[in-house]
Structure 1
Amino acid sequence: MADTTAHPPAGLGIFARWLSLWVALAIGAGLVLGNLLPGAFGALAALEIASVNLPVAVLIWAMVYPMMVGVDFGALRQIGQRPKGIVLTLVINWLVKPFTMAALGVLFFDYVFAPWISPENAQAYLAGVILLGAAPCTAMVFVWSNLTRGNATYTLVQVSVNDIVMVFAFAPIVALLLGMTDIIVPWNTLLLSVLLYVLLPLVAGLLTRMRLVRAGGVAAVDRFKSRIQPLSVAGLLVTVVLLFGFQGGVIVAQPMVIAMIAVPLLIQSYGIFFLAYFAARAWRIPFDVAAPCALIGTSNFFELAVAVAISLFGLGSGAALATVVGVLVEVPVMLSLVAFANRTRHWFAQGETV
């Protein structure tokens, strides 16, 4: 399989470089519009079926579908050839990351920040960070892998395996952690969210990819992703505008909320990266697999987290706000970790079997 299959469209790399700026501008627009046009945002919030907000569902699909087209399940045949990187990815993403995120959320929202946050808001923010912690990266990791000159094909294998596991593991882990923190879990809505935002986009992406490969090979897939990538960018930014529009009054009244939500997210991001990175070094995994492995665990599938937070708790909820703060925090953190990884490349042996 050619390495080019795992590289994202060029537009995604440019978008990733300036993602924090675009998200910040979208946040500003949402705050202004939410305070100027509360009636319009209220009407949008009312457009829902079975706890699923229809405008947001369309936007989330616009974000997720292009990513799923890039998943090549043919790469799964390589799992048994070099298993170390896959094993470490799965352990970090599914046995460590969700639980450390939940623990940090409890520590900060229930204790450290308790004097400044109401118990209701603390539970909402905790739910949001739990959703982020249980959703490992799907698409942006291709950008981070490319920036560290990672093994593109192996990165594709890691992401494909993660997507398969996510279909089965996301809902049970989220339900377990929300239940452990005394947050009521509407199981029907949670399972519907996984169906709408993971399983169906994954199937649609697979069918689209198969049709494109038959028509023109991997090059046709890359061309298609390049054409539809602006939809993903627009979907993310409009979703941010909506979320902050609904949260406008709360945020204007309590601007420190954003900073407080960011604290456990920052600690989690750096902690998970260094845990995975040094574990990979100790296990003699080569750099071009170790760096993407650590970056997959650090980055989040924030599109899924945002969608599920909205479905479970509502557009104006603190949980939805927390997931969007995750978007704002993630890109500067990831770029700093890419720079660290590139500076420490020499720490790793090259050409080891994984």
Structure 2
Amino acid sequence: MTDIPKTDSTKTGGAMGAFERYLTVWVALAMVVGIGIGTIAPGLVSAIAAAEVASINLVVAVLIWAMVYPMMVSVDFGAVAGVAKQPKGLLVTLAVNWLIKPFTMAFLAVLFFDYVFAPFIAPEDAAQYIAGLILLGAAPCTAMVFVWSQLTRGDATYTLVQVSVNDLIMVVAFAPIVAFLLGVTDIVVPWETLVLATVLYVVLPLLAGLATRRLLGSKDRIDAFTARIKPWSVVGLIATVMILFGLQGEVILQRPLLIALIAVPILIQSYGIFALAYGAAYVLRVPHRIAAPCAMIGTSNFFELAVAVAISLFGLNSGAALATVVGVLVEVPVMLSLVAFANRTRARFPEMSG
């Protein structure tokens, strides 16, 4: 059972508190329902898939926006300067995301598809899956980390700074790293995807959150409002899972063994990167409200960017595109398990000072 922070039942309602506590169960059901919808109502799924701009599905974007907005309301711009007093969390995030994660993903991809799984997969297919996994590893999370941060009671202001700095580095570092690891020098970065995702998932919710804080005025009113709307971010998460699994239901049912093989290095990478970042934050005595999100950013992936680049480089039906899609399917269950672990180990970290 996922250890989700309980909300005040007097503000959110006891039923919603129970709903949050059994989040893992609802997500599992959403996966099953999503696959079922994809099977019995392909027309509906096709309509949702068609609502896309720059490789970003607008229906999913709206749901992610709904998930991100509650945390943005909690962002206090007056406290941004305080981030400088806790630089260790930001340094861990950047070191793991850009000096370690892309290269460990490339190593695991080559290890499994050129060696461990070589008897089962043709070399030309293996090369495609390796490419897709490398694209995933080089694209750390932008939007969903706000959800994971909220579920671990992360510091909203610090999380925003972590994500913003990470995005700025991604603009200049993503293409060179991918080009180096793939051995391809003419990587075409879909800038419209990168820019649109940043605007949709960071800028607009942030502006909406700032406007809401100014409208509400007092801290008590802000706290009461966020307590009421935070549970609905969980509803958005479940609806997103249902849609993602509905969009990929056909490939899951037709190629389950291949999906499982691709998932193996992704799972090892995800848990390994989290352990590294979370462990480093523990050793450096980073407060839990910073440590949990900083580990989540590297573990989660900017799947829209990875999928878009895979399609542009290798084609819509390529093995590389499939590998990035498997990353999407694996992410939510993995991240929920890590949210549960982070919440259970909260007491081992120091409290936030100041």
Q: Deviations over 1:281-303 (max 9, x none)?
A: 554x26xx1x4454324324899
Q: Summarize the Cα distance change of 1:228–1:143 in structure 2 as closer, same or farther, 3 Å threshold.
A: closer
For 2:84, what is the secondary structure of its paired residue? coil
Q: What's the counterpart of residue 339 of structure 1? A: 344
Q: What's the counterpart of residue 71 of structure 1? A: 75
For 1:65, what is the secondary structure of its paired residue? helix
Q: Quote the sequence identity (%).
A: 38
Of residues 322, 328, 334, the one that matches 2:333 is 328
CA contact (8 A) 2:139 2:306 kept: no
Q: What's the counterpart of residue 295 of structure 1? A: 292
- Write the mapping of 1:98-247 to structure 2, written as runs, cut at 5 A: 98-117=102-121, 118-119=125-126, 122-123=129-130, 125-126=132-133, 129-130=136-137, 133=140, 135=142, 137-144=145-152, 146=153, 155-179=155-179, 180-181=181-182, 185-187=187-189, 189=190, 191-214=191-214, 215-229=216-230, 231-247=232-248
Segments of structure 2 that go 5 or more residues without pairing to the other structure are none
Q: Summarize the Cα distance change of 1:223–1:198 in structure 2 as closer, same or farther, 3 Å threshold.
A: farther
Query: What letter is aligned with 2:147?
Result: A
For residues 98 and 220 of structure 1, what CA distance do their matches in structure 2 show? 43
Query: What letter is aligned with 1:325?
Result: V
Q: When the two structures are aligned, how many residues end up with a matched partner? A: 329
- Write the mapping of 1:246-325 to structure 2, written as runs, cut at 5 A: 246-280=247-281, 282-283=283-284, 285=285, 289=287, 291-300=288-297, 305-309=302-306, 311-312=308-309, 317-318=321-322, 319-325=324-330
For 1:71, what is the secondary structure of its paired residue? coil
CA contact (8 A) 1:134 1:173 kept: no
- What value does the CA root-mean-square deviation take over the aligned residues? 3.9
Q: What's the counterpart of residue 90 of structure 1? A: 94
CA contact (8 A) 1:102 1:129 kept: no
Q: Summarize the Cα distance change of 1:19–1:208 in structure 2 as closer, same or farther, 3 Å threshold.
A: same
Q: What's the counterpart of residue 56 of structure 1? A: 60
Shift of 1:28: 0.9
Shift of 1:168: 1.0
CA contact (8 A) 1:110 1:119 kept: yes
Query: What letter is aligned with 1:254?
Result: R
Query: What letter is aligned with 2:204?
Result: A
Give the TM-score of the pair, scaled to structure 1: 0.74
For residues 186 and 256 of structure 1, what CA distance do their matches in structure 2 show? 31
- Write the mapping of 1:22-61 to structure 2, written as runs, cut at 5 A: 22-61=26-65
Q: Deviations over 1:229-275 (max 9, x none)?
A: 45533433333233322322221133234443443343334433443
Give the TM-score of the pair, scaled to structure 2: 0.74
Q: Summarize the Cα distance change of 1:158–1:351 in structure 2 as closer, same or farther, 3 Å threshold.
A: closer
Query: What letter is aligned with 1:167?
Result: D
For residues 34 and 351 of structure 1, what CA distance do their matches in structure 2 show? 45
Segments of structure 1 that go 5 or more residues without pairing to the other structure are 1-6, 147-151
Shift of 1:16: 6.0
Query: What letter is aligned with 1:237?
Result: I
